[in-house]
């Protein structure tokens, strides 16, 4: 799938139908160094829950996800 950010950056992430949203977030963290706990993934107008299965959300190869990042206070 293609993941787009609010800043306009786009990147590809490999998914499997059996993946959960959390699995996808882990891949994004590994490949893009965006901490899992700060990621908010959306498909269309819907914010995706970590426990949801990709196959149940209608996400397929060629789909586009939006990624927002929840900024946390730093030290």
Report domain extents, the chain.
Answer: 2-69
Architecture of domain 2-69: Roll (3.10)
The pTM of this model reads: 0.89
Cα separation, 75 vs 23, in Å, equals 28
pLDDT band at residue 9 using 50, 70 and 90 as cut-offs: very high
pLDDT band at residue 73 using 50, 70 and 90 as cut-offs: low
Residue 69, SS3 per DSSP: strand
Q: Is the pLDDT of residue 19 over 90?
A: yes
**Cβ neighbours of residue 6 closer than 8 Å, sequence gap 6 or more:** 66, 67, 68, 69
Query: How buried is 20 (Cβ within 10 angstroms: 0-12 exposed, 13-18 middle, 19+ buried)?
Result: middle
3 and 13 in contact (C-beta within 8 Å)? Answer: yes
């Amino acid at each position: 799938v293609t993941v787009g950010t609010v800043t306009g950056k786009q990147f590809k992430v490999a998914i499997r139908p059996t993946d959960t949203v959390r699995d996808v977030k882990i891949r994004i963290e590994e490949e893009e160094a965006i901490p899992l706990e700060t990621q908010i993934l959306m498909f269309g107008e819907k914010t995706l829950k970590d426990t949801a299965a990709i196959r149940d959300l209608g996400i397929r190869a060629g789909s586009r996800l939006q990624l927002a990042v929840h900024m946390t206070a730093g030290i």
